[in-house]
Amino acid sequence: MRGVKFLGSFEREFPNERRPEFVFVGRSNVGKSSLINLITGQKVAKVSKEPGRTRRINYFLFKGVYLVDVPGYGFAKVSKEERNRWKEMMENYFYLRKDRISCVFLLIDAKVGPTPLDEKMIEFLRYLGLNFVILLTKVDKVKRRELGETLKRLKGFRVILTSAREGKGKGEILKEMKLWEDSLP
Ligand SMILES: Nc1nc2c(ncn2[C@@H]2O[C@H](COP(=O)(O)OP(=O)(O)O)[C@@H](O)[C@H]2O)c(=O)[nH]1
Ligand SMILES: [Mg+2]
9-28: per-residue pLDDT in tens? 999 999 999 999 999 999 99
Q: Find the 46 Cα to ligand 2 centroid distance in Å.
A: 6
Q: Among 23, 25, 34, 117, say which to mutate for ligand 1: greatest number of ligand atoms within 8 Å of CB.
A: 34
Domain ranges within the chain, ordered by starting residue: 4-182
How far is residue 106's CA from residue 122's CA, in Å, rounded to a whole number? 8
The mean pLDDT of the chain is 92
151-162 mean pLDDT: 97
Residue 6 has pLDDT above 50, yes or no: yes
Locate the ligand 1 atom nearest the alpha carbon of residue 28 and give its number: 19
Residue type, 136: L
Instruction: Report which of 9, 17, 2, 100 is spatially closest to residue 60, judged by C-alpha positions.
Output: 9
Residue 18 CA to ligand 2 center (angstroms) comes to 24
Instruction: Spell out the CATH class of 4-182.
Output: alpha beta
* The one-letter amino acid at 147: L
Contacts 24+ apart (CB under 8 A), 84-89: 89/11, 89/12, 89/56, 89/57
- By C-alpha distance, which of 28, 21, 159 is closest to 103? 21
Confidence grade of residue 185 (pLDDT, cut at 50, 70, 90): very low
Label residue 52 by pLDDT band (50, 70, 90).
low
**58 CB under 6 A from ligand 1?**
no
Ligand 1, atom 4: closest residue by C-alpha: 138
Please tell me the predicted confidence (pLDDT) of residue 76: 73
Question: Residue 63 Cα, ligand 2 centroid: separation in angstroms?
Answer: 21
pLDDT at 54 over 80: no
- The overall pTM is greater than 0.85: yes
Q: What is the pLDDT of residue 127?
A: 97
The residue nearest atom 12 of ligand 1, judged by CA position, is: 29
pLDDT in tens, 63-110: 999 999 999 998 877 888 988 999 999 999 999 999 999 999 999 999
CA of 185 to the centre of ligand 2 (A): 31
